[in-house]
Amino acid sequence: MWIELDGWKAKLRFSACHFIPNHPKCGRLHGHTYAISVKIVGQQIGNFVIDFEDLKRYVGEICETLDHTTLLASRDENVQITKTETGDIVVIVGTSRKRYCFPKEDVVTLPINSVSAEDLCSYLLDELCNKLDLSTFSEISIRLDEGLGQGAGCVRHFSQREGDSGLG
């Protein structure tokens, strides 16, 4: 058994800006309206695999933390991130040596290697898994769209507990 949420239709969206260092086009600061779609495969316990309202709330909380921010990857070897005396965030980018200065409240620094759709998607899956009781799920998939028609997805599989046929 599985349930799905379409991020566009369920309004599980956020808008943010980012850049991909050393990329000819995406190396410039730019933004997207992102949508997070989720599919959860698992056992139906009582009425639900998971209550849609709970899942929407969890994904919505994640969206809220990222909405209208500048996303930075703290593990990106192509950026140097420092703070000024006032707490503002200064970013120096790779070989171009571009320099950005952002108000601290406008930045979310994520523990990822890049702010590509792929790495953002993996981060979002980790964040969602941290909010869920995973004991009845066998698989969670997330798709992060950077606009209509383009996005990245990732899947996490969970081992079946003893006695669970995994057929859900």
Q: Which of these is catalytic: 23, 30, 68, 157? A: 68
Tens digits of residue pLDDT in 61-114: 999 999 999 999 999 999 999 999 999 999 999 888 899 999 999 999 999 999
Q: State residue 94's pLDDT score.
A: 84
- Answer yes or no: CATH 1.10.3720.10 is held by domain 2-68+115-157: no
Tens digits of residue pLDDT in 8-48: 999 999 999 999 998 989 999 999 999 999 999 999 999 99
Residue 122 has pLDDT above 50, yes or no: yes
The answer to whether 18 is a known catalytic residue is no
Q: How confident is the model at residue 59 (pLDDT cuts 50, 70, 90)?
A: very high
Q: How confident is the model at residue 160 (pLDDT cuts 50, 70, 90)?
A: low
The answer to whether 129 is a known catalytic residue is no
Beta-bridge partner residues of 42: 137
The pTM for the full model equals 0.90
Domain ranges of the chain: 2-68+115-157
The answer to whether 23 is a known catalytic residue is no
Q: Which of these is catalytic: 26, 129, 139, 154? A: 26
Q: Which of these is catalytic: 118, 129, 146, 154? A: 146
Residue 167 has pLDDT above 60, yes or no: no
Tens digits of residue pLDDT in 39-58: 999 999 999 999 999 999 99
